[in-house]
Amino acid sequence: MRVLGVRTPLFVFVRKGEAVRGLRLVRVMGIVAVFAGVLCVWRGVHWIPSGLEEAAGGGVQVPAAVTSADPHPVPTGPAPRRVSRSDGRVWVQIPAVGVDAPVAGVLHRRGGAWWPPSGGLGMSASGAGLKAGVGTSMLAGHVWEGSAPGVLYHLHQVRPGMVVGVADGHGRLSRFVVTDVRQVPSDLLPEWVWGSDSGQRRLVLVTCAGRSTGGDGSRKWSQNLIVTAREIR
């Protein structure tokens, strides 16, 4: 039967008892449908840790850096401060983006890759020392460690002109101005990044970037982020 062109629900045209049973059946079917819908939504959504983004095609990624270069930038933003640390270690500061990390040792090789120490920066043994007057020093740190951001997570926010401070345990401070920010595939890290004992005094900071290719606790990343800065005399 049709009323004003609308198909009337079938259970209206049965006996009273059958109508009640039909109504209960519809209610049960509705609850099942809602539950199934919620289940599908739940299964279709994957949890993304705070600080990471969903990558195109699935998986997660680190927020991308704005790649840019300026060989002669004007130093901008908050300047690093002279701070005496009780631990005696060298610390690297980038106040404009909230980086404040200790140099915790040298990079170590594991599984065909170079790894920085946990909770700090690792130094390349191929480059100049942090107290050198010439050459390039390279420091690397984790972008993500375990289930939380690493010491260089905020490196993607760095721009040319921002100032990097390198302070020793006695409060002596060297300042560098960022001249170059770039991302490269993780298997194409340029040789100059590892540092040198000659040439202009520079500091290179490296961390992982791009899309994650591993799970929690063992994440690998598709790219590297490289920030280069020259010393301010």
pLDDT per residue, tens digit, the chain (233 aa), is 333 333 323 222 233 344 444 445 445 455 544 443 433 333 344 567 788 898 887 778 999 999 999 999 999 999 998 877 778 899 999 999 999 999 999 999 887 788 999 999 999 999 999 999 999 999 999 999 888 899 999 999 999 999 999 998 777 899 999 999 999 999 899 999 999 999 999 999 999 999 987 655 457 899 999 999 999 98
In this structure, are 16 and 126 located in the same domain? no
Do 60 and 36 lie in a common domain?
no
24 and 123 fall within a common domain: no
Give just the sign of the alpha carbon dihedral 73, 205, 151, 217: positive
Q: Do both 215 and 110 map to the same domain? A: yes
Query: Rounded to whole angstroms, how far apart are CA atoms 162 and 94?
Result: 8
Contact 231, 163 (CB under 8 A): no
Q: What is the CATH number of the domain that holds 179?
A: 2.40.260.10
Same domain as 107, residue 218: yes
19 with 74, same domain: the answer is no
Q: How many domains does the chain have?
A: 2
Do 116 and 25 lie in one domain? The reply is no
Q: What pTM did the predictor assign?
A: 0.77
| Structural domain range at position 30 | 2-44
Burial tier of 155 (Cβ tally within 10 Å: 0-12, 13-18, 19+) = buried
| 81 shares its domain with 23 | no
Helix ranges (H only) for the chain are: 16-44
Q: Please tell me whether residues 40 and 61 are part of one structural domain.
A: no
Q: Locate 116 and state its tokens.
A: 């920085």
Same domain as 97, residue 14: no
Largest Cα separation within the chain, whole Å, is 97
**pLDDT of amino acid 47:** 62
One domain for residues 116 and 33: no
Together in a domain, 67 and 107: yes
User: How many residues make up the chain in this entry?
Assistant: 233
Q: Which pairing describes strands 2-3 and 148-149: parallel, antiparallel, or unpaired?
A: unpaired
